[in-house]
Amino acid sequence: MLLETRHLGRSFGGILALDNLRLQVPRGALYGLIGPNGAGKTTVFNLLSGFLQPSQGDILFGGHNITGLPPEQITRLGIARTFQNIRLFGDLSVLDNVLVGFHCRRRASWWQAALRFPGYLREERAQVSRSRALLEEVGLAEAAEEKAGQLPYGHQRRLEITRALATEPRLLLLDEPAAGLNPQETGELMDFLLTLRQEHRLTILVIEHNLRLVMGLCQLITVLDHGLTLAAGTPGEIRDNPAVIKAYLGGGVS
Ligand SMILES: Nc1ncnc2c1ncn2[C@@H]1O[C@H](COP(=O)(O)OP(=O)(O)OP(=O)(O)O)[C@@H](O)[C@H]1O
Ligand SMILES: [Mg+2]
């Protein structure tokens, strides 16, 4: 397993947003996390990425207990995320947004940067060229100098994934990547994610309301409802699970 959680829980003011979550995400998997609004899905991502501290339980990543580590350390260990509401630096260029991702891998210290040491300048140049290569790979090279905030919505989503990739993750957490995309863009996103997983040897955990995407893409799925785990299994098992059908899908998955 690349990622495991044990008894993971978080409450807000006495209300359990997530209770006793046991996730087991195999290396290389595309893993889906689904459930109705308020089920606790984003809370899981906030816990895994260190944005929130758990009230109970442990998070194991690559066999190490990462519970309670701050976000920047978790990023360096190889977990990257995107946000349900896109968070880009809208006034910065597309290229600079990707560079921000690479910065977490920098070796040069701030004073070397301030004095523009040769080592710093070399590293900076290398990261610019790697950012351009990444933009080429994801089909955004022509927009490199544009302001991120001016990109079409679908491209902003793609850029946010690209910035996450720039941190060189082993595990990518995507919070509703298809939200706001039309069916054609959603299809393109599915191909994009499959290619990324292959090319970057990624494990991907994806939150998504679009069941066509989740069922078509993921090998394993966990269903949350009111913070509780309703079911976990293959798409076939989830589709046939009576509790899932009753509580979440209200009659079946197409
Ligand atoms: N920082 C917070 N402070 C207080 N309550 C919170 C906080 N974050 C989440 N919650 C609550 O925890 C519950 C789970 O929220 P969460 O955002 O994880 O749900 P979700 O499954 O991502 O829902 P959605 O599909 O709407 O994005 C909700 O009741 C929410 O109001
Ligand atoms: Mg959410």
Domain count, the chain: 2
Domain boundary pick from 146, 167, 188: 167
Q: Are residues 176 and 247 in the same domain?
A: yes
Q: How far apart are CA 226 and CA 243, in angstroms?
A: 13
Classify residue 74: in a domain, yes or no: yes
Q: Are residues 183 and 245 in the same domain?
A: yes
Instruction: Compute the distance from residue 64 Cα to the ligand 2 centre, in Å.
Output: 26
DSSP 11-61: EETTEEEEEEE--EE-TT-EEEEE-STTSSHHHHHHHHTTSS--SEEEEEE
Domain with 207, as residue range(s), is 1-78+169-254
Q: How far apart are CA 101 and CA 163, in angstroms?
A: 5
Q: Are residues 10 and 62 in the same domain?
A: yes
Domain boundary pick from 167, 189, 216: 167
Residue with CA closest to ligand 1 atom 31? 38
Classify residue 84: in a domain, yes or no: no
Q: Are residues 54 and 177 in the same domain?
A: yes
Q: Are residues 149 and 194 in the same domain?
A: no
pLDDT tens readout for residues 78-125: 999 999 998 999 999 999 999 998 887 766 666 666 666 667 778 788
Instruction: Please work out whether the CB of residue 101 comes within 6 Å of at least one atom of ligand 1.
Output: no
Residue type, 199: E
pLDDT tens readout for residues 157-181: 999 999 999 999 999 999 999 999 9
Instruction: Please work out whether the CB of residue 157 comes within 6 Å of at least one atom of ligand 1.
Output: no
- pTM for this predicted structure: 0.91
Residue with CA closest to ligand 1 atom 24? 37
Residue with CA closest to ligand 1 atom 17? 42
Give the ligand with the smallest distance to the CA of 209: 1
Strands 220-225 and 228-233, bridge-based pairing: antiparallel
Q: Which atom of ligand 1 is nearest to the CA of 176?
A: 27
Domain boundary pick from 145, 167, 189: 167
Q: Are residues 49 and 174 in the same domain?
A: yes
Q: Which of 13-22, 113-122, 203-212 has the lowest mean pLDDT?
A: 113-122
Residue 252 is predicted with a pLDDT of 44
Q: Are residues 162 and 177 in the same domain?
A: no
Classify residue 99: in a domain, yes or no: yes
Q: Are residues 67 and 98 in the same domain?
A: no
